[in-house]
Amino acid sequence: MGGAGGVPGEGGDRREWAWIGRWIGRAWLSRERGVRVAGGGGGRGGWWRQRNDGQQAAARAARDAAQEAFYELDSTQRDVLLAVETVRAAEDSGTARKALSDFQDISTRIDQVTVAYLAALDAHDLDAPELDPSVAWQAQQQLEQARRELAAKQTELTNFLQRLQPLVQHAEAQLVRVAPAVEKAKRALLAATTALEAVRAAGLRADDLAAGLAQLAPELGRLNEGVAKHGVAGTLQRADDVAQRADAVRSAAEQLPERARETDRRLASLRTRTQALETRAGTVEPVLSELRRRFSAACWQDLQQVPTQTVEAVRQARQQLSEAARARDEQRWPDATTAIGTVRTLLETADGSVAAVAERLRQLNEVEHDPHREIERARFAVRDAQRLAMAGRQAPDPRHATPLDAAVARLDRAVASLDSAGRHPDYWHFLTELAAVRETAAQVVAMIRSGH
């Protein structure tokens, strides 16, 4: 075939085409046999090999860049995971839950990008001795796309971590309180255990304290499980509760020896008081006899039961003392304290009754000897209140004048009743009436001074 676009003609054109054919044949044979053709200095096949090696090197560079992006993303994801776990352990707010949900969404997208990257990485063996340039080019494109996607997720993850920082800082501030609180609770438990052992070594059982301490063992186990299971707020609250309860056990254990000694002292003191009351009870009947002999029945009738009441009080006190002693020996401290309180109340009431008999005789003797002294005391109290009621006034306030007028009338009636009583006046009624007059005057004075 002739012409410009046909088969080459005779002479030089024919030789040129033959040379090209032989070159292509040798290049193909060398490729098939895997023989490397040295380049440069007039060597044959160098440009082909250089083009292949250059494309493979570019693909490897893309692979290395993608790997670097993958490692950076993986490192950042671990940092974010740590931050998210910190927030999850310390926070339970809506904001924290939203952050956790966002991280899960980002992680899902990162997983998808990672799968694509690994698929591109495994699709071609870029270290193969003979790699077709088109294959290397395709691998390069896939790996560069994977690198871009990994870098985009790296940027998204970094931005998320920046938005998460306020929550992380707050969570870290919460978490930093956990270790000292838990340590404080453990120290409190150790101190309580030591104190309880010392008490038992002294011969005191302290069963109630031991039971209280045993109840804290499960709480210690929950503290050891940490915030990952119970959260920061729950752990802090539990640690504070354990510390307080352990401190209470320790304090009670440390006070127990002194409590035992104090209980012994009170029992001894109350036994002495009971004996003294029994002795004083013997003086009541002679005093009552004198009251009956010298004064009207109205002056002593309310005291008639004092001797019987005192004997009964002594009996009950001794019974409660025995119960308190048994409770102390059995180390039932609340029961011992209750029985001791009952004894004290019985003795105080009986002492007051016995003293009232003697006091009644004294008051009646004084008023019989000089009734005017009591009358003047009552009148002085009323006049003092009246002067205060008139201070700075032309007329007294009815709120003050009315009760004072009634007190004056009451005083006059009591004096008149005493004067008309004859040989055996009711001195006790007279004394109680005058005491009521003085009380009324005192109430008016208090009212005036308080501004009413």
What would the DSSP string read from start to end of 121-174? HHH--TT-SS--HHHHHHHHHHHHHHHHHHHHHHHHHHHHHHHHHHHHHHHHHH
Q: What confidence score (pLDDT) does residue 193 get? A: 93
Number of neighbouring beta carbons within 10 Å of residue 147? 21
Mean pLDDT of 147-167: 89
Q: What is the pLDDT of residues 397-412, one digit of tens each?
A: 899 999 999 999 999 9
DSSP 359-413: HHHHHHHHHHH-HHHHHHHHHHHHHHHHHHHHTT-SS--HHHHHHHHHHHHHHHH
Higher-confidence position of 39 and 88? 88
Q: What confidence score (pLDDT) does residue 92 get? A: 64
| pTM for the whole structure | 0.56
Q: What is the pLDDT of residues 285-337, one digit of tens each?
A: 999 999 999 999 999 999 999 999 999 999 999 999 999 999 999 889 899 99
Higher-confidence position of 173 and 307? 307
Instruction: Indicate whether 108 pLDDT > 80.
Output: yes
Instruction: Indicate whether 368 pLDDT > 80.
Output: yes
Lowest mean pLDDT among 86-100, 116-130, 161-175, 196-210: 86-100
Q: What confidence score (pLDDT) does residue 31 get? A: 38
Nearest-angstrom CA–CA distance, 445 and 241: 53
**Non-local CB neighbours of 273 within 8 Å, separated by 6+ positions:** 347
Q: How confident is the model at residue 34 (pLDDT cuts 50, 70, 90)?
A: very low
Q: What confidence score (pLDDT) does residue 38 get? A: 34
- Domains of the chain, by residue range, sit at 46-171, 179-258, 282-368, 370-449
Q: What is the pLDDT of residues 5-31, one digit of tens each?
A: 333 333 334 333 322 332 333 333 333
Instruction: Indicate whether 173 pLDDT > 80.
Output: no
Q: What confidence score (pLDDT) does residue 196 get? A: 92
Q: What confidence score (pLDDT) does residue 272 get? A: 97
Higher-confidence position of 203 and 265? 265
